[in-house]
Structure 1
């Protein structure tokens, strides 16, 4: 009877033993590793492609996507492994009782289990209770075994992922370096105009705000000094991809942590993220401007400007017409280390992003909400 009571006690106290989680973090991490391994395989092909800029751009974006997915998968994997380990450690006493009861059931002879001091009726009742309890005890033991196996699987997965991460981080560094070289040595792009550096310098020195500078660029175009653009991307309004892999950090005209509101949006990105032109556009300006750091201003159609600021490096020459998806710069920051992918310190934001790109859109001299042109997926 004491054995049956112990069995029922174990059943009551181990009901929450198995941790619950959303999805399968181990599966997601494995899929991300496959994605990253595919990007590693693409690097060699991209290096020998005829259009190296395009091929290497795709490779860098594939690396960024794979590393981002692996970061998320590994953090979920690490959180799951820690939760399981802590749960098992917290229920150590209950697990011990479960193992003790199971061992007693397996080793004690049947008469000893069924004998009851109340006589045959009590023995029959105890046998019925034990018959009901035994399968449930075995189910609990099977659940415990699954948890232990999952902990071991997740730990092995993390060790393998670190090796893949090291290859991926080295690969993306190589791809970025090759991309910079390819851009420097590429065949000249179509040119809409040739920059007058003196006029640009005068415009910079005579303006104190981004809006005033953008207005000055528009005035130059209106004066006929630049061939008019016949491009029209109005059909793509609201569907354009963001120029960089990242997440919306601040919407237009929303206050940031310092209480400052701006006309543009702020996109949180990973360090050294690649920035591309979302559509075919003319580079109207590139270089340092005011206190915005490196800036590149794209004109996809007459009267429409996309202003990107906060880059560490900018590519291309003023006056060039760049196709959609062409690299126009790199974000700053230090490349992440493998250990940072296993850390849960950035879990609150879910991104681990440390850089930010500011983007402003101006139509006919007036700032408009960039989300009227771009997909930010803030609700996705």
Structure 2
């Protein structure tokens, strides 16, 4: 037998009398130590007139918090007026913070799932031993009401005293073991419940922080795109032309080639990328250049950025480059399961050469990172940048949806085939290409993110 009840049964064994089994019965029924007995009367209901006051106070607090956040955001936007670098810095910092909070949320939710399982297992274990515990309690209660002759020390009943002593000598060690085992279980149950309560509080706080960051990112992106439309308006005809090219092309490599040669914004972006004269070979990069958030060209070459690029979204890797796809081919990129509505950031500096739907990719974003490198991302619900726009590494460029959708087309050849099976979460697909050929993106991820990708 392996049920546990702690100090309660131990107290009964030490002779505390009939009161001890009553407390022990509470523990067996799952009442926390120090809590009210199961038979205790419920507290009187809160008068109806008191409830609106409490709810109103909480609502007013939420409104005040939202108003203060809006005031801070307006002040930040005013400070960033006519300052592209400041606006970009706020975008990158807020997105990085949101990604960190999302990662913490994922870890806390995983921890809570484990604690829930532990609580359930302990509850089942205690419930299975309820019959045995009832028998032990009954024996203790009978002993309390009618002490055996050995405890009364009646010399005229020596035989009964000897028999009782033999019986107690055999019974008490077993009961003590049961008491210690049950005590350990209940102590563990109390610890798990305490951790679970703390995790729930952390989860509530993190969700609130993420909501604030999401609203902030949305407002900053709106301001960024407003300025983009004013400074570099995209003619509707050019957007239509890009969409028509995408509809008439079934191959990603051909799509990029045609866009950068036939569509004005994409062609200008390709020319700007080709005009960058930064070192193309790996070497020691100028990290100080990354601090300039007002830059309009890549701070360092893509080849030099190995080990420096942030993952575009927080999440759990599902499939990695080179992994078998189950149908005779291999994956050409990285697929990440994300949270619903997660912000997606650009992995590297570059120019947007396509943003829109494409074949089985769904919403497809292609960034020309210079040096013959392109970054492809698919599976987003909404893209928040425009054709020809320059973006920084870590800057928000899209938003994941609230429902799972195919994200990673099988790229055994140049033509996109059927999607990989979906999970219960949205999926982001990321692919790096060099001169039209997929390359392993793993060496490019920053150390901490690379470790997360590798599990």
- Identify the TM-score tier after normalising by the shorter chain: 0.5 to 0.7
Count residues with an aligned counterpart. 331
Tell me if structure 1 keeps the 8 A contact 2:3–2:178.
Answer: no
Change over 3 Å in CA distance of 1:197–1:57 after alignment to 2: same
Quick one: distance in 2 between partners of 1:91 and 1:247?
40
How far residue 70 of structure 1 moved from its aligned partner, in angstroms, is 3.2
Residue deviations 1:86-142, cap 9 Å, x none?
222222112323434555666664853698987898777666656745643442342
Aligned with residue 88 of structure 1, among 123, 126, 133: 126
Moved more, 132-141 or 121-130: 121-130
Tell me if structure 2 keeps the 8 A contact 1:294–1:310.
Answer: yes
How far residue 305 of structure 1 moved from its aligned partner, in angstroms, is 0.9
Tell me if structure 2 keeps the 8 A contact 1:46–1:56.
Answer: no
Query: For the aligned residues, what is the CA RMSD?
Result: 4.6
Q: Which segments of 5 or more consecutive residues in structure 1 lack a partner in the other structure? A: 1-12, 19-39, 336-350
Scaled by the length of structure 2, the TM-score of the pair is 0.57
Scaled by the length of structure 1, the TM-score of the pair is 0.67
How far residue 75 of structure 1 moved from its aligned partner, in angstroms, is 1.8
Q: Which residue of 2 aligns with 1:209?
A: 251
Quick one: distance in 1 between partners of 2:201 and 2:444?
41
User: Map of 1:165-204 to 2, 5 A cutoff?
Assistant: 167=208, 170-171=211-212, 174-185=215-226, 200=242, 203-204=245-246
Change over 3 Å in CA distance of 1:378–1:226 after alignment to 2: closer
Q: Which residue of 2 aligns with 1:24?
A: none
Aligned with residue 94 of structure 2, among 56, 63, 68: 56
Change over 3 Å in CA distance of 1:317–1:243 after alignment to 2: same
How far residue 185 of structure 1 moved from its aligned partner, in angstroms, is 4.1
Q: Which residue of 2 aligns with 1:22?
A: none
Quick one: distance in 2 between partners of 1:114 and 1:228?
103
Tell me if structure 1 keeps the 8 A contact 2:321–2:333.
Answer: yes
How far residue 358 of structure 1 moved from its aligned partner, in angstroms, is 1.8
Q: Secondary structure at the match of 1:377?
A: helix
Quick one: distance in 2 between partners of 1:239 and 1:117?
86
Quick one: distance in 2 between partners of 1:112 and 1:287?
89
Change over 3 Å in CA distance of 1:100–1:164 after alignment to 2: farther
The answer as to 2:2 corresponding to 1:14 is yes
Moved more, 131-140 or 41-50: 41-50
Aligned with residue 103 of structure 2, among 65, 87, 112: 65
The answer as to 2:325 corresponding to 1:325 is no
Q: Which segments of 5 or more consecutive residues in structure 2 lack a partner in the other structure? A: 7-64, 80-86, 262-266, 279-299, 405-421
User: Map of 1:37-186 to 2, 5 A cutoff?
Assistant: 47=73, 48-49=75-76, 50=79, 51=87, 52-101=90-139, 103=141, 109=147, 112=150, 129=170, 132-133=173-174, 135-147=176-188, 149-150=190-191, 153=194, 167=208, 170-171=211-212, 174-185=215-226
Quick one: distance in 2 between partners of 1:297 and 1:44?
33
How far residue 363 of structure 1 moved from its aligned partner, in angstroms, is 0.8
Q: Which residue of 2 aligns with 1:297?
A: 366
How far residue 364 of structure 1 moved from its aligned partner, in angstroms, is 2.1
Change over 3 Å in CA distance of 1:227–1:141 after alignment to 2: closer
Tell me if structure 2 keeps the 8 A contact 1:305–1:362.
Answer: yes
Q: Which residue of 2 aligns with 1:373?
A: 444
Tell me if structure 1 keeps the 8 A contact 2:344–2:396.
Answer: yes
Q: Secondary structure at the match of 2:364?
A: strand
Moved more, 70-79 or 182-191: 182-191
Tell me if structure 2 keeps the 8 A contact 1:243–1:278.
Answer: yes
Tell me if structure 1 keeps the 8 A contact 2:273–2:351.
Answer: no
Q: Which residue of 2 aligns with 1:284?
A: 353
Tell me if structure 2 keeps the 8 A contact 1:304–1:364.
Answer: yes
How far residue 304 of structure 1 moved from its aligned partner, in angstroms, is 0.9
Change over 3 Å in CA distance of 1:248–1:218 after alignment to 2: farther
Q: Over alpha carbons, which structure has the higher Rg?
A: 2
Q: Secondary structure at the match of 1:89?
A: helix
Moved more, 138-147 or 222-231: 222-231
Quick one: distance in 2 between partners of 1:149 and 1:225?
63
How far residue 54 of structure 1 moved from its aligned partner, in angstroms, is 3.6
How far residue 272 of structure 1 moved from its aligned partner, in angstroms, is 1.1
